[in-house]
């Protein structure tokens, strides 16, 4: 099975955001909404068993959701949580798919950052390569203007 097949289906969902990408973002997160104990990017995290779709999210949240058919449900939850008093903002790492309904209906409610350079996702702590599609960040935050920007994350870390 290719990395694309695994990432775009619901067969395998344990793709982890690589540490070099998290370091380039230079951002502290209070909660990782979609994590395994071994892949969490924040002090507090929700696992599959806890089902973040049914819980309240607090603070600054990181989300690298499953990339299968449930992706729009996760993005909608991220947007809804970001509008609540107890949530500051939600950062979502998702495929850059401007041809989809969820891109226009949900992602465009936030700040979209198109990423230059592919991300090599990890499994079991090891890089398994880049998918055949680009990625983007979507940041949902109350009263934050909607916009689209780009970021060359490999050579220009956020400050």
Q: Is residue 89 one of the residues assigned to a domain?
A: yes
Residue 139 lies in a domain: yes
Residue 132 lies in a domain: yes
Q: What pLDDT, in 10s, does the model give residues 27-80?
A: 999 999 999 888 899 999 999 999 999 999 999 999 999 888 999 999 999 999
Residue 8 has phi, psi (to 5 degrees) of: -100, 5
| Total structural domains within the chain | 1
Strand order of the β-sheet with 87-95 is 44-45, 31-32, 59-63, 87-95, 135-141, 111-115, 147-151
CATH number of the domain at 74, please: 3.40.50
Domain membership of residue 47 (yes or no) is yes
Strands 135-141, 87-95: parallel, antiparallel or unpaired by DSSP? antiparallel
Q: What is the pLDDT of residues 91-109, one digit of tens each?
A: 999 999 999 999 999 999 9
Q: Does residue 141 lie within any of the structural domains?
A: yes
Domain extent, residue 137, equals 3-151
Residue 157 lies in a domain: no
């Amino acid at each position: 099975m290719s990395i694309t097949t695994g990432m775009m289906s619901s067969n395998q969902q344990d793709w982890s955001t690589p540490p070099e990408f998290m370091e380039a973002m230079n951002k502290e997160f209070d909660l990782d909404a979609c994590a395994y104990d071994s892949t969490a990017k924040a002090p507090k995290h929700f696992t599959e068993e806890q089902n973040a779709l049914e819980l309240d999210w607090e603070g600054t949240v990181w989300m690298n959701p499953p990339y299968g058919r449930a992706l729009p449900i996760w993005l909608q939850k991220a947007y809804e949580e970001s509008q609540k008093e107890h949530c500051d903002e939600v950062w979502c790492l998702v495929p850059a798919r401007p041809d989809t309904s969820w891109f226009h209906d949900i992602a465009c409610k936030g700040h979209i950052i198109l990423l230059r350079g592919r991300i090599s996702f990890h499994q079991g702590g090891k890089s398994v390569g880049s998918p055949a599609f680009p990625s983007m960040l979507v940041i949902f935050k109350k009263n934050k203007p909607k916009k689209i920007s780009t970021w060359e994350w490999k050579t220009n870390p956020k400050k």
